[in-house]
Amino acid sequence: MSGENSLESRIVTTIERTRTALSWDDLVDEFDVDEDRLDEALSTLQEHGRIRYSGRQGGYWSSAIPVDDVCAVCGGHIDVGEYRRVSVRPRGSTDAEAEAYTMHVRCQEAVTRGWGVQRR
């Protein structure tokens, strides 16, 4: 039972960690599981809107990462793996109210230097 849930969460975690769309072959390589079980996990995740298949990316992609987004700073297109998600949480609000922005790594570095972000 718990093993079933963990396959789904492992798939999402892997996509989000690597910031890379995973093709069927990638998934088969990454998760050493029965292919029917893998197919079922992908269906469940798609039904719940956790992942979607992107033909352009050539694989499954986490819904939490907006592939088609443009950079919040410069407005340019962002390729996979070339961006950061920056979460901005206004003082007094909860984490759930935080707004996430997608931007190029170079833009994030330029902007946060300007913001004077404190490292903790």
Contacts with Zn ion by CB under 5 A lie at: 71, 73-74, 76, 104, 107
Rounded CA separation 62/67 (Å): 9
Give the residue with the Cβ less far from Zn ion, 50 or 104.
104
Minimum distance of Zn ion from residue 102's CB (angstroms): 9
SS (H, E, C) 84-100: EEEEECCCCCCHHHCEE
Angle among Cα 28, 33, 34 to the nearest 5 degrees reads 95
Minimum CB distance to Zn ion smaller for 62 or for 108: 108
Nearer to Zn ion, 65 or 74 (CB): 74
Shortest-Cβ-distance residue relative to Zn ion: 71
Spatial separation of the C-alpha atoms in residues 86 and 103, rounded to whole Å:
8
What would the two tokens of residue 39 be?
């197919």
* Closer of 48 and 77 to Zn ion (Cβ): 77
Q: How far is the CB of 103 from Zn ion (least distance, A)?
A: 5
Q: How far is the CB of 71 from Zn ion (least distance, A)?
A: 3
